[in-house]
Structure 1
Amino acid sequence: MEKKENDLSKLYPTDLLVTGFDIIFFWVARMVLMGMYNTGLEPFKTVYIHGLIRDRFGEKMSKTKGNVVDPLDMIAKYGADALRFGLAVQTVPGSDIKFNEKRIEGYKHFANKIWNASRYVITNLPEGFKVKDPLQTTLKPEDQWILYRLNETIKEVRKGLDSFDFSKSAQALYQFFWDEYCDWYIEFSKERVYKGEEKEKESALNTLVYVLDKAIKLLHPFMPFITEEIWSYLPTKDKKSVSFSSYPKPKEEFEAFKDQAWRVEFVKEIISDIRNFRNVLEIPPSKKLTAYYSTKEARELLETFKGLILKLARLETLEETQSRPENTLVIPFKGGEIYISVKDTINVEEVRQTQLRKREKLLRELQRVEAKLNNPKFVERAPKHIVEKEKAIYEEIKLELQKVENILKLLES
């Protein structure tokens, strides 16, 4: 009897109850009433009410309808981490989850990205590598940028977790790790990792390791299995398990990097605009382009980061000019313009005519789909999956049409 009383005093009341909205009255309210009646204490301080997981059309899952998804099948196909992260991303307060297997498949690719990025960092560490705080190394602007962005991500993730907005936290981690760490910072650092002098390599490697260590800890509640495995190989490992390590907190020293972060964001936009120019006109990455710029405000920035711009935008040259050279197309940016030479690269008029024909075809197809979706009889009588398919086609056509308009606008320059 004494043991039961000790257990009750130790375990009751609790802090949090997690439940679905469909049993608020049948379960939650009765727990409050019975708990207070028998003990005089509220059984919990906070109730987190999540939505239901429905099928991709928003219908409630049931064996009768045959739309039940077995989580074990999803785990076998995509992994537990991908399933956990996919559900967390879609857990928006006050909303049900429309379960879409394609999204889980997408987060399997995210898990692969995490693994490959971690392997890149770990395999490039020299034998006997000694970890240093990045602040004790000679940091480049791009190092300061990623440390500042890490700091901002930590704030956003913690804010989301504290307010039970798991989707916000998961999306912040996804965007930071995939877009900023993998697609940008790793690319920024490769030249120094492979060919840099000792101090350059030291700052790059220590920043890579530091950010990876913090990112793995941030991701651990969402993707425990892959993060635990990666943690076991990191030189920063100081606990038996990543679960025992402290969850990252923002570092005040990194706030000082805000100005450098803005400068790198500006350079990223320039590189992205040139890459988009290539994609739009289907110019292969192997073809190096000749570029010019005209600006007063951003001259110092472009000259400082010229090496990175040349490498990541696949440019042969980037030189200042006072007037627009012949046979160039214009890429405007805040405070100036970049001119890309298309001589011996594309036939502007030929590409323009091709895109005009494509636009006409897309407009006809858009009109056909719009007529269907605006027909009440079709929307009411057609099977739901057919209507959804037509809506998806409509959105795809609009997206393709926007791409064509962007190409035509670019060619007009």
Structure 2
Amino acid sequence: AVTEAIAGCSFDEAANLLYRFIWNTFCDWYVELSKPVLNGADADAQAETRATASWVLDVILKLLHPVMPFLTEELWDQTADLGAARAEPLLMAARWPDLSALAPDAAAAAEVGLVIAAIAEGRSVRSELNVPLGARPPLLVVEADPAQAAVLAAYAPVIGQMLRVSEVRVEASAPTGAIPYVVQGATLALPVAEFIDLAAEKARLSKEIAGLAATAEQTRRKLDNPDFVARAPEEVVEENRERLAEVEAARERLQSALARLA
């Protein structure tokens, strides 16, 4: 995708693609998911993870070089002894990556996708309900097929570290005070009632939802006004459309949180 964007002179799109992959995928997930492996006792898994991270970092530097040439050249030199011996001492003379031979591993993608979804959605639950960072409830697997349950159990150390839960365990049903959420057809739950004031959280969420509803209605009336749409600059109209979409999305998230509390 980066290659196509650069070839089409869409340099902003190339930079955005790189940012999303480096920050949201490599740093936000791969590095964090690697920590329990690197801190573990399996030497073969550690070596494989280090080698993979080193190779991906080399590809990142190559793809990022047209956008940040001086910084990437310096990093290329400074990291030369961290991975396998390089045949390209200068990054500016390196061949552009060709990843066409890589075959996606659907099973691995499904495994990690389930783990990421469980962590990401669990974080949303904690954030929306103001669960304290220091609170470590268990993550309950209420409904899941055997394969999903096995994956969640295998990744329990990672989930515990990234979602701040004490353990991952299977339960026949969610107890009172547990907030359920669904990822890829599996129902998980976080027992958080002991860590928050349920009445206060319901009141807070209701108030925020009402405020967002008022903001959305005000913006919607403006966009429904033909005079405003006709006379305002296009960027102002588009800004209001984006604001309305953001407010509506935020309201839906809080409504879901309120429904969970109920």
Fold shared by both chains (TM-score > 0.5): yes
Q: Name the TM-score class by shorter chain.
A: 0.7 to 0.9
Q: Residue 88 of structure 2: SS of its match in structure 1?
A: coil
Counterpart of 1:222 (choices 67, 70, 77) is 67
- Normalization by structure 2: what TM-score? 0.83
The amino acid of 2:67's aligned partner reads F
Query: How far 1:350 sits from its partner (Å)?
Result: 3.0
1:7 corresponds in structure 2 to: none
Query: How far 1:312 sits from its partner (Å)?
Result: 1.3
2:111 corresponds in structure 1 to: 263
1:351 corresponds in structure 2 to: 201
Give me the whole-angstrom Cα distance separating, in 2, the residues matched to 1:384 and 1:304. Answer: 52
Conserved 8 A contact 2:153-2:168: no
* Deviation sequence 1:265-291 (CA, Å, 0-9, x none): 121111111111111112233221222
The unaligned stretches of length 5 or more in structure 2 are none
1:75 corresponds in structure 2 to: none
| CA separation of 1:402 and 1:256: change in aligned 2, threshold 3 A | closer
Query: How far 1:164 sits from its partner (Å)?
Result: 5.3
The amino acid of 2:99's aligned partner reads P
2:155 corresponds in structure 1 to: 305
Give me the whole-angstrom Cα distance separating, in 2, the residues matched to 1:194 and 1:181. Answer: 18
| CA separation of 1:322 and 1:384: change in aligned 2, threshold 3 A | closer
Counterpart of 1:372 (choices 222, 230, 248) is 222
Query: How far 1:207 sits from its partner (Å)?
Result: 1.6
Give me the whole-angstrom Cα distance separating, in 1, the residues matched to 2:6 and 2:208. Answer: 47
Instruction: Give 1 or 2 for the bigger CA radius of gyration.
Output: 1
The unaligned stretches of length 5 or more in structure 1 are 1-155
Q: Residue 183 of structure 1: SS of its match in structure 2?
A: helix
2:145 corresponds in structure 1 to: 296
| CA separation of 1:303 and 1:385: change in aligned 2, threshold 3 A | closer
Q: Residue 222 of structure 1: SS of its match in structure 2?
A: coil
Conserved 8 A contact 2:140-2:170: yes
2:171 corresponds in structure 1 to: 321
More contact order relative to length (CA 8 Å, sep ≥ 6): 2
Give me the whole-angstrom Cα distance separating, in 1, the residues matched to 2:249 and 2:110. Answer: 30
Q: Residue 319 of structure 1: SS of its match in structure 2?
A: strand
Q: Residue 105 of structure 2: SS of its match in structure 1?
A: helix
Q: Residue 190 of structure 1: SS of its match in structure 2?
A: helix
Conserved 8 A contact 2:132-2:195: no
Conserved 8 A contact 2:209-2:251: yes
Give me the whole-angstrom Cα distance separating, in 1, the residues matched to 2:71 and 2:118. Answer: 35
1:115 corresponds in structure 2 to: none
- Paired-residue identity, %: 24
Query: How far 1:234 sits from its partner (Å)?
Result: 1.5
Give me the whole-angstrom Cα distance separating, in 1, the residues matched to 2:237 and 2:181. Answer: 40
2:128 corresponds in structure 1 to: 280
Counterpart of 1:193 (choices 11, 26, 38) is 38
Conserved 8 A contact 1:213-1:231: yes
In the alignment of these two chains, the number of paired residues is 256
Give me the whole-angstrom Cα distance separating, in 1, the residues matched to 2:25 and 2:238. Answer: 34
The amino acid of 1:250's aligned partner reads L
1:408 corresponds in structure 2 to: 258
Counterpart of 1:209 (choices 51, 54, 75) is 54
Query: How far 1:183 sits from its partner (Å)?
Result: 0.3
| CA separation of 1:222 and 1:355: change in aligned 2, threshold 3 A | same
Query: How far 1:215 sits from its partner (Å)?
Result: 1.0
Matches for 1:240-251 after TM superposition, within 5 Å? 240-250=89-99
Give me the whole-angstrom Cα distance separating, in 1, the residues matched to 2:17 and 2:246. Answer: 26
Q: Residue 243 of structure 1: SS of its match in structure 2?
A: helix
Q: Residue 166 of structure 2: SS of its match in structure 1?
A: strand
| CA separation of 1:200 and 1:322: change in aligned 2, threshold 3 A | same
| CA separation of 1:317 and 1:398: change in aligned 2, threshold 3 A | same
| CA separation of 1:171 and 1:381: change in aligned 2, threshold 3 A | closer
